[in-house]
Structure 1
């Protein structure tokens, strides 16, 4: 039978509203930060020559939040985002309570196949920039725990090419320390620019 008795630590906070109010206030500020980030990413797009397909931008940005990604609150921005039944072109920025921000380029289906050569050719650039690649089979895990991601520079070029071709999707990502709050927007836009230039310039 499951115990309902409180631990001393649980008992010390259950009668207080202070922590919950602080947590809710912090999440609202993360939501506001994600809104500013979307504006910064859109501004970058307006000044770049990246050849977006029209359908990739028609879905617009989306900010969402929840309480239970592996037991902890989260906030997520998808911009730009294109999700169909089998194809994905998405740049996802996620805040995970107590852990980090992360920026992830997720390509799947025909979109991933379209960029497969550019991905292969960008091995050196991605490795030097400190990006990691998702190596599991389920594309909907978002954290860097449990061996989900490995640094690209730990693979040889041949191993990287095998990873690029292995699944119908690929996710390339980078985490950012929560404590660097004031630099998050700049850091994420920089990662976004690196990834778009990689796709646009065929890894040059």
Structure 2
């Protein structure tokens, strides 16, 4: 039988029921925020003419997990269109202990379709980052794997296997998160897909 011992701090934590109940309430709150955002996002997407109908037809989806780099997360994808060769998604993301973020990810046919719009995005809002990590499913945003989108040219984007642009919002500004997501989403849709 394994002899797994807990430290004093771990024993204190494992017997502290309110900690887990609080964590569960926080995750449920994020899911509720994302549920409300999905309705607002759908309304915004319905008004745009820059997206194909088959992309618009796919419903939003909320996912959650317990272990991205050891920490809980919640994610809303909408629009969300994924095939073997083409991807288009806007991902609203909560990562415990780190940040809220919103990401636009495109590949395949959508790169040429939206590269110019992505360049325009940086001219409208300078706080977007271009992710430079070679793994498109890597969600950690740091100075070592991102660069300011401002100054990036469409010709550079057209050479990339995928484009992933992101903007973050601090967890400490929880009350402003819905406004952050709504404004960022509307800007993406208007500038990139408009």
> Same fold judged by TM-score > 0.5?
yes
The yes-or-no answer on 1:134 pairing with 2:158 is no
5+ residue gaps, structure 1, are none
Residue 190 of structure 1 corresponds to 183
Verify: 1:173 aligned to 2:166, yes or no: yes
Q: CA deviation at 1:193?
A: 1.8
The equivalences for 1:29-44 within 5 A come to: 29-44=29-44
8 Å CA contact retained: 1:93, 1:102: yes
**Shift of the alpha carbon at 1:43?**
2.3
1:31-63: CA deviations, max 9, x gaps? 1111011111122234x3332211102221000
- For 2:159 and 2:89, the matched residues in 1 are separated by 19
User: 1:70-149 to 2 correspondence within 5 Å?
Assistant: 70-126=69-125, 128=126, 130-145=127-142, 147-149=144-146
Shift, 1:3, TM fit: 7.8
Displacement of 1:181: 2.1
Q: CA deviation at 1:198?
A: 2.1
Q: Distance in 2 between matches of 1:183 and 1:50?
A: 29
The 1:103/1:10 distance shift into structure 2, 3 A limit, reads same
Pairwise CA distance, 1:162: 5.4
Per-residue CA shift, 1:15-36, capped at 9, x if unaligned? Answer: 2222111111111111111101
What is the alpha-carbon distance in structure 2 between the residues aligned to residue 3 and residue 167 of structure 1? 50
Deviation at 1:123, TM superposition (A): 4.4
Normalised by the length of structure 1, the TM-score is: 0.85
Q: Is 66-75 or 37-46 further displaced after alignment?
A: 37-46
CA distance in 2, matches of 1:65, 1:122: 29
Query: 1:39-50 to 2 correspondence within 5 Å?
Result: 39-46=39-46, 48-50=47-49
Distance 1:118 1:187 in 2: 20
Q: Distance in 2 between matches of 1:105 and 1:75?
A: 16
Q: Is the 8 A contact 2:120 2:192 kept in 1?
A: no
Instruction: Measure, in 2, the Cα distance between the counterparts of 1:95 and 1:66.
Output: 11
Would you say the 8 A contact 1:87–1:111 is kept in 2? yes
TM-score of the superposed pair, with normalisation by structure 2 = 0.89
